[in-house]
Structure 1
Amino acid sequence: MTRKGRVEDKVVLVTGAAHGLGKADAEALAREGARVVVADIDEAEAQRVAETLPAAMALGLDVTCEAQWQAVLAKIMRTHGRLDALVNNAGIAAFETVEQSSLEAFRRVMSVSAEGTFLGCKTCLPALAASGAGSIVNIASVAAIRGNPAVFAYSAAKGAVLSMTRSLIVHCQQQGHPVRANVVLPGSHDTQMVREAYHFAAPELRDAARKYEGQPEHVADLVLFLVSDESIRLNGAEIVIDNGRTVA
């Protein structure tokens, strides 16, 4: 008997999927049978990632642009006829305190990391509801729940992701939409963004972060679970994955 994958034939859109955590998410989902849409503003790299995965397609997507979201969803519906899950992973950080940050830099981080998540949820919700059992996985950060002055705007944006997800869940329940949403809050993992952050951190903070650091695949395994029907009763979970650093 052929073993089916944990997300066999599910159509899953992953944003920011050309690099880092998003790439690991796409790889884990494809490995378990999903038809992954690798979406990223870096379309060339998204295409390279998609070419390594079975049944994957790459699409260019600036998550701050509503028209591009609509075009991506239209392409998915033409190709697959449905959308089963959305992983809102795309985000950027500015390594600045409140006093260092310009209004322009603050707005840019909020635009990608918070507004991009809003646009993904807004645009994809009807298609996810039509699938009969849609799943949204929003990627926040432990920066949303513990003070980190060095990434002021990023912390604010990821806090917004938490609040938006809570409101989204209640909305879906009130409207009878068969869509659930959960939030993943990663700590330090070995990605380009985290490596860049180390350049701005004091040595003692950098060493502490590295002590608890994980690999992108660790987050991807959790995302896979939240997309799969194994977590069908999980709705509104805010799951910290940081090897215990937040409680240490």
Structure 2
Amino acid sequence: MSGNAGWSATVLTLYPEMFPGPLGHALAGRALADGLWTCTARNIRDAATDKHRTVDDTPAGGGPGMVLRADVVARALDAVSDGAPRIALTPRGAPLTQDRIRSLAQGPGVTLICGRFEGFDERLFEARDIEQISIGDFILSGGETAALVLLDACVRLLPGVMGAASSGVDESFESGLLEHPHYTRPALWEGLEIPEVLRSGDHAKIAAWRLARSEEDTRSRRPDLWQRHSDAADQSPSGARQQKKDV
């Protein structure tokens, strides 16, 4: 096993039966069976102190829904002592990025806290060192699905999980661009051909075509990514923006 063998995921949730869920199958499932990572789901209700195992209460100031109590969630979190980064899945969090995924995959593991109802009592984040992460600008029923997304993205990067060490290199977001299109046999399908350059055997031309398509698709489909990529390309090694010269 590699140095990352045993990468540990602890999930605090009201629905521990949801884990490992789909991550118990395919690539992540094989890695789990091989001991390359572990997944422990803990029920937040176990940290409740009343006979009804209450974890939520009505919002202060009024309003619909219920709010997860800071004291109960903190008690559940304090019972985890693995030293891994602690992350709450919440739409109020910072967007999840491939850079953050890569850094988490290189660490010892992660402790994830899954939100429910209207979210967490804000005092939880004032009293504990917890990173808040969102997987997108949309609302889920709870943080469990978001936790599965984050875990899947991390696990596939662990040493020994993917068949080839380079499998995760030329993919969307790794270079700041969307990945180029892919093709495979048959060469002709429903009147559509594989681009000639990909059948040429000229690796330099193939690489240039792939880069050009990555740039073209990123520019048209994800202008936000293209802007960040362009800004990064305009930075000098010192971090200062290069001055564009008129030709």
Structure 1 length-normalised TM: 0.34
Larger relative helix fraction: 1
**Based on CA coordinates, which of the two structures has the bigger radius of gyration?**
2
Structure 2 length-normalised TM: 0.34
